[in-house]
Chains A and B, each alone.
Chain A
């Protein structure tokens, strides 16, 4: 953990530096408030700081205010060092955004204990952020395949369709449905069925570009949103997906399982005003046509052919 020490007075700065280094921290020391604020506002800047109250350029409370205003991604734990001891001063310091204060001359034992308190607060924040990120991921992704969840991909598709006119780029959607997947579950069991779904998801993801969206729409149904793809490109991409999924049997714990995918494609041009439901409906119709025509193929929706 890197700690910033800001103090214009050399003796105090050196004593702090040495004490903090001895406690096992990495130290960056500066001698004025402006440099302290710059260091702390950097995205990879120190997350814990000891700031002298009286400093040139910016005083300690002003550094606290600057940091709180500019850097909001992750909390920076700020400790003001002060020889001011009136309640008014302490309140002013804490109201400026400081988390704690330490009176000068500092006691090394107390300083180390306050740093540990800061570390605990930062660790707690890290854990909360991690938990929030984990929950966000779980809420937006399918737990079996790790693809986007149905709700998330529909939301993203809706956003892309709203932007489609200003971006002047066509958007294509591809509905995929595994052929005879019920037979896989019935023959090999649901655990193998899950293994197949995971591998199919991996193969679809490997067939699209990093900025396309892939989601699990239902049991064995997948939805792919292809950004900036007109009819020809979309059909080529759908064909690549079909080949990637059906090209070789899926290796499972029960041995290789052959599987194929039928796909329906629908294209929304910038001039189109079709709502999301109708675009999905067209792709669903094309998927139905692919199934009817013998499965393991790609079909284009009727209005996308125009």
Chain B
């Protein structure tokens, strides 16, 4: 994703699908995005720490958790990047882990910013 600082949430989230999954409950949607804002950075830190410590089993588990959260929120691109990271950690491929981490972190930064703007009312 490019121009991530100003990208709309639709570039990261399949909103029609997500709204259908929460039964068009905007209150629940807000609650879930808030959980995402809270938990996503923690998981990302845990992932960084696991990779830095060479604990690839833990890195795989954390990437798996991130993948699940992103998929549940219809953040398909992010989920795919987390899945790549999970696969790289499982394979123990250090080079691939670094590449996957970089791609994931870049997307995640833009995603969090988009969610932040959405939550602040910057988007409908």
Task: Report which A residues bind B (CB closer than 8 A).
Answer: 8-12, 14-15, 18-19, 22, 52, 54, 83, 104-108
A18–B25 touching, CB < 8 Å: yes
Q: Knowing A10-B35, A83-B68 are in contact, say whether A18-B28 is a contact too (CB < 8 A).
A: yes
Q: Which chain B positions have C-beta within 8 A of A106?
A: 72
B 57-75 binary contact with A (CB < 8 Å = 1; else 0) = 0000100110111011110
Contact with A along B6-18 (1 / 0, CB 8 A): 0000000000000
Query: Which 9 interchain pairs have the tightest Cβ spacing?
Result: A105-B71, A105-B72, A11-B69, A10-B35, A12-B72, A11-B35, A9-B65, A9-B68, A9-B69
Neighbour of B68 across the interface among A18, A19, A104, CB < 8 A: A104
Q: Are B31 and A14 in contact (CB under 8 A)?
A: yes
**14 contacts across the A-B interface (CB closer than 8 A):** A10-B38, A10-B39, A12-B69, A14-B32, A15-B32, A18-B22, A18-B28, A19-B23, A54-B64, A83-B68, A105-B68, A105-B74, A108-B20, A108-B21
What residues on B are CB-neighbors of A54 within 8 Å? Answer: 61, 64-65, 68
Question: For residue A104, which residue of chain B has the nearest CB?
Answer: B68
Nearest Cβ on chain A to B71's Cβ, whole angstroms: 4
Please name all residues of chain A whose beta carbon is closer than 8 Å to the beta carbon of B118 when the two chains form the complex: none
Q: How far is the CB of B15 from chain A (nearest CB, A)?
A: 15
Bound together, the chains give a CA A9 to CA B61 distance in angstroms of 11
Kindly list chain A residues whose C-beta atoms are within 8 Å of the C-beta of B32. 11, 14-15
A85 to chain B, nearest CB (A): 11
Contact A11 B73 (CB under 8 A): yes
Give the docked Cα–Cα distance between A9 and B35 (Å). 10
CB distance from B82 to the nearest CB of A (A): 10
Q: Measured between C-beta atoms, what is the minimum distance from B62 to chain A in Å?
A: 10
B13 to chain A, nearest CB (A): 12
Minimum CB–CB distance for A295 against chain B, Å: 78
Contacts A10-B35, A11-B69, A15-B28 supplied; 15 other A-B pairs, CB < 8 Å: A8-B65, A9-B39, A9-B69, A9-B72, A10-B38, A11-B36, A11-B73, A12-B72, A15-B21, A18-B22, A18-B25, A19-B23, A54-B61, A104-B68, A105-B74
Residues of B within 8 A of A108 (CB): 20-21, 23
- Please report the C-alpha to C-alpha distance between residue A287 and residue B89 in the assembled complex, in whole angstroms: 86
Q: For residue B61, which residue of chain A has the nearest CB?
A: A54
Q: Which residue of A lies closest to B20 (CB)?
A: A108
Give chain B residues whose Cβ lies under 8 Å from the Cβ of A11.
Answer: 32, 35-36, 39, 69, 72-73
